[in-house]
């Protein structure tokens, strides 16, 4: 009889077997099927996992990037990738995650991410991003601080559960480094100047369009 964990039977009948360096088991307390490869020197996500897998745990490996499409079934609700060497997440993977509607928890903490796409806000209910060497700039200021600090679940828990551990790696000493507390002055950003630049650009575009339309009308006449 299982007290906490035991091998689960769906793996025994699955056409995909558990990899030699991994463990596949049923966690009785959590009532989930787990595919676990910890410190297994994995360099990329496994292409397939056994049927009915609920959690994929790939901590402490050497995965450096996440590309391609998210290929796991909607049964997978948690993907743990903490403590790898992940430097980038391709847009194709984010886009396919948006379409999968299965993943609810994603752990990307303790990696080498310097930035993340804005669409990452919409891929899962809970996410961890702490202890990555984020490079903060005026673009990240437009969305990330508010997302980290104010986006919560109905329970009141933050969507980014470790948001207080998300810091800027590129700011000089004395400047605010916690991303959720960043302000324009911390990065030398000036929203009013940015607005003026946009308005000037639009003015020039409109002027060019007017000249083009006038020249076309003259030719037609």
pLDDT digits (tens, 9 = 90+) for 170-190: 876 656 689 999 888 888 887
- What whole-number distance in Å separates Cα of residue 214 and Cα of residue 163? 54
Q: Which residues pair with 107 in a beta bridge?
A: 80, 128
Q: What is the pLDDT of residue 172?
A: 66
Q: What is the pLDDT of residue 47?
A: 87
- What whole-number distance in Å separates Cα of residue 133 and Cα of residue 179? 11
Q: Is the pLDDT of residue 156 over 60?
A: yes
- Span 31-57, average pLDDT: 94
Q: Is the pLDDT of residue 8 over 70?
A: no
Q: What is the pLDDT of residue 174?
A: 58
Torsion of CA 69, 87, 127, 122, to 10 degrees: -50
Alpha helices per DSSP H over the chain: 9-13, 91-100, 138-141, 144-150, 184-187, 191-220
Average pLDDT taken over every residue of the chain: 82
- Span 114-139, average pLDDT: 93
pLDDT-based confidence at residue 199 (cuts at 50, 70, 90)? very low
Nearest to 104 by CA among 84, 127, 82: 127
* Sheet containing 126-128: order of strands: 5-6, 23-27, 32-36, 55-57, 78-80, 105-107, 126-128
CA atoms within 13 A on the CB side of 128: 17
pLDDT-based confidence at residue 203 (cuts at 50, 70, 90)? low
Whole-model pTM? 0.79
Find the range with the poorest average confidence among 19-28, 57-66, 154-163, 210-219: 210-219
């Amino acid at each position: 009889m299982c007290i906490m964990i035991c091998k689960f039977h769906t793996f025994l009948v699955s056409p995909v077997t558990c990899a030699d360096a991994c463990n596949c088991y049923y966690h009785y307390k959590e009532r989930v099927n787990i595919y676990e490869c910890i410190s297994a020197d994995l360099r990329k996500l496994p292409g397939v996992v056994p049927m009915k897998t609920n959690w994929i745990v790939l901590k402490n490996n050497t995965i450096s990037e996440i590309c391609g499409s998210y290929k796991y079934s909607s049964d997978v609700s948690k993907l743990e990738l903490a403590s790898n060497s992940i430097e980038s997440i391709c847009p194709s993977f984010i886009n396919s995650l948006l379409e999968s509607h299965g993943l609810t928890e994603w752990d990307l903490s303790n990696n080498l991410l310097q930035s993340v796409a804005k669409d990452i806000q919409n891929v899962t209910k809970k996410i961890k991003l702490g202890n990555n060497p984020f490079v903060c700039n005026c673009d990240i200021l437009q969305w990330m601080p508010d997302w980290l600090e104010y986006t919560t679940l109905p329970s009141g828990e933050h969507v980014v559960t470790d948001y207080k551990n998300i810091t800027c790696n590129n700011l000089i000493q004395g400047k605010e480094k916690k991303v959720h507390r960043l302000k324009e002055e911390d990065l030398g950003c000036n929203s009013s100047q940015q607005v003026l630049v946009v308005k000037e650009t639009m003015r020039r575009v409109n002027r060019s369009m007017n000249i083009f339309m006038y020249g076309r009308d003259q030719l037609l006449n």
